[in-house]
Structure formats: C-alpha cells, structure tokens
Amino acid sequence: MSERDKIEVHVKYKDVDQTFTAASAEEAWLLLDKVFHDFIPSYGIANKLWLDVDVAALAKEVEGIMAFSPEGSNLMLSKGKLTDNETLMLWLVAGYLGCKLGKLGSDALTKDELQAKLGKSGKITSTRLGELIKNSMVAKIDEDKYRITTFGVVQLQSDILPKIKAKTIGV
C-alpha cells in the first residue's frame, strides 16, 4: 500500500493529542474507537470530579445577602442571626466573588479585617479561622491573609447558604 492510500487521523481534545496512520478505513475506525474508549472517557470522569464554581450562579444565590459598593463588600444580614463561621465564610465569599466580578482588587482578607467584620476578639477570630482551615474551607495564603477555597465556596453553596437563608430570610 502506498503512502497515498493510508488514512491519517488526528484527534485533539483538551490534553489528548493523538495522530495515527491506518492502512484501511476499518483499521482507522478501530484506532479512533480505541482513542475514545481509552483516553477521552477518563477526561469526562475527571471533569465530573473537578470542583468548579459557577460565578454567575453564586452571584444569583447571594443576592440580598451581600452587595458591593465603592467602599467594598457588604453583608446585608444581621450578624446576630449568623454563627461566627457563617459570618467569616460570607465575608470571604464576598471577597472571592467581588474579585471575580472585578469589584475588588483581591479575594484575600487579613485577620484584622475579618476580626473587625466579625466584631469579636482576635482569639475568637483566630480560633474560628483555624476551624475553617482544618475543614479545608479557608486557606491562609501568607503571613496574615485568608481566602476561601474552592471547596469552601462549593460547601457554602450546597450546605451553608440554604441554612443561612432559612434562618434569616425565611426561604
């Protein structure tokens, strides 16, 4: 069989980049089928296991709970109805969302900023942040700054926001 009679197939999908040559259409089909069965399904499975945040959905979910102004982020709920951890999570999500929406320059807040927003002592703030870090909801990113993790945002959306809405807005 001459080079001209061979079939060359190139498959490029995300990180999969395969080129193969076959002597017949049947062989090309079998090789192509092998690529789809061996490589691409694993990407579909991996994508289902990958945590990702839909920023538009998050923004819609926190409507009425937080807002942004020229001065920064604001919680629109009474702190008295929230636990310390819920309050810290909301402030950190506000930083995350504000940064993603281009309303804030950074998604990280210092311990002092969080303490002021929580309205509690430095010891209580440190203890609560430690609990959130231990549960992988928050990460300490440098000397004294904290940000919410992707896992923390996902947990907030699935577990914490419904509880907050139920006790504060009656949803």
Report DSSP letters for 66-92, one per residue: EEEETTEEEE-S-GGGS-HHHHHHHHH
**Contact at 8 Å (CB) between 73 and 66?**
yes
pLDDT for residue 3: 61
pLDDT in tens, 126-152: 999 999 999 999 999 988 899 999 999
Report CA-CA distances (Å) from 7 to 12, 13, 19, 25, 29: 16, 20, 11, 7, 10
Mean pLDDT computed over 7-29: 83
pLDDT band, residue 89 (cuts 50/70/90) = very high
By mean pLDDT, which of 42-46, 73-77, 94-98, 108-112 is the weakest? 42-46
Gap between the Cα atoms of 22 and 5, Å rounded: 9
pLDDT band, residue 40 (cuts 50/70/90) = low
pTM of the model: 0.74
**Contact at 8 Å (CB) between 59 and 101?**
yes
Gap between the Cα atoms of 90 and 66, Å rounded: 8
* Positive/negative CA dihedral, 62, 66, 133, 150: positive
